[in-house]
Amino acid sequence: MPRLDDVARAAGVSKATASRALSGASGVAASTRERVQRTADELGFRVSGAARRLATGMTRTIGVLTPSVNRWYFGSVLHGIAHAADAHDHDVLLYDLGAFGRGGHEKFERFMTRGEVDGLVTITWSLVGGDLTRLADLGIPVATVGEPTQHTRSFALDDDAAGEQAAEHLVRLGHTDLLHLAAEPEVQPFEASSSDRRKRAFERVSARHGLRIRPVQTVPTTLEGAHAVVREIIDRADRPTGIVAGTDEVAMAALLAAHQLGIRVPEELSVIGVDDVPAAAAFGLTTIRQDPAQHGEDVVAWIMAALDDPDDEPDRSHTAYAPVLVVRSSTAPPS
């Protein structure tokens, strides 16, 4: 494996000049640069990432802290991040916190102070307690996607608007008796979660339109987790005419349960979710769409900008994405 020294010698320049030529720095004659470039190619030279890191202090890597990797939302964000990072010629280091068993906290501690990344993005629910605050003091750009946060730059769906739109959609169809199924994350989030936000949005709409008051039911976020409990909830005589689910997975669980109980959708029961997961279309699920991959792209773009910019005021703003209603066949006027 040829070193920079070799390239320099072969091209008849100094190591310093070779470095400049290859890294695209200024102060090198065009002809020289080209020559160095060429001999580097011929020799099959690759800069040593390790050496570059040591010298520059930059890792060309961004870290991602995520509570999970194989749920749609997280996976999509991660995908967006990977795409954008690659476009900026950066690597992505994955920290699957869910994988960290019980020792999660110490691992996190150790990781934090290791300086293996230039920037960090945490996905919702990743951090608890004061971790996020400490993270923000890391000296590198830190951003959160999935929920608004005080301590870092953040990106997320506008959950208030999403929750309202979902409920309003059913109200406009004529429903007056709705039930909200709040999706509860496995691990309790630090600040008010999107689940809470959607729930409160539902309650606002209920109050505004004087709907029948039914206590919000809290169920697991996942299809498999929610299924049994949702089924039991639906299997009652005084069932609502419409269900506003906090998540598509919960909504799909409701659809499945309804089917198994012989309840016709949307004739006897309307169901609306939030997310627009890929399977939603096949289910004919009316839902509120969000595009997590885009969030991932945006968060990386922000990190890159923060990396370039001279270190001005830390930016802790929040960008909320507007939800969009996608009407399919799981909702209709009550009969």
Partner DNA sequence: CCAATCATCGGAACCGGTTCCGACCATAGC
Partner DNA sequence: GCTATGGTCGGAACCGGTTCCGATGATTGG
Q: Any idea what the Cα angle at residue 215 is, between residues 330 and 283, rounded to 5°?
A: 15
Max intra-chain CA distance, the chain: 88
Cβ pair 96, 63 in contact under 8 A: no
- State the nearest-atom distance from the C-beta of 63 to its own copies, in Å: 9
- State the nearest-atom distance from the C-beta of 21 to DNA, in Å: 7
Nearest to 286 by CA among 307, 302, 265, 304: 265
d(CA 134, CA 151): 9
SS3 of residue 159 by DSSP:
helix
- CA-to-CA separations, 242 to 190, 219, 226, 279, 281, in angstroms, rounded: 31, 17, 17, 21, 19
**Of 27 and 129, which has the nearer Cβ to DNA?**
27
- State the nearest-atom distance from the C-beta of 289 to its own copies, in Å: 14
- Under the criterion CB under 7 A, does residue 60 sit at the interface with DNA? no
**Of 308 and 313, which has the nearer Cβ to DNA?**
308
Binding track over 26-45 against DNA, x by CB under 7 A: xxxxxxxx-----------x
SS3 of residue 93 by DSSP:
strand
Site for DNA in 184-203 (CB under 7 A): none
- Under the criterion CB under 7 A, does residue 1 sit at the interface with DNA? yes
Task: Select the binding partner of residue 160 from its own copies, DNA, none (C-beta < 5 to 8 A, by kind).
Answer: none
Task: Select the binding partner of residue 269 from DNA, its own copies, none (C-beta < 5 to 8 A, by kind).
Answer: none
Task: Select the binding partner of residue 4 from DNA, its own copies, none (C-beta < 5 to 8 A, by kind).
Answer: DNA
Q: What tokens does 240 get?
A: 């609502």
**Of 54 and 282, which has the nearer Cβ to DNA?**
54
Positions that interact with DNA (CB under 7 A) = 1, 3-5, 12-17, 19-20, 22-23, 25-33, 45-48, 50-52, 54-57
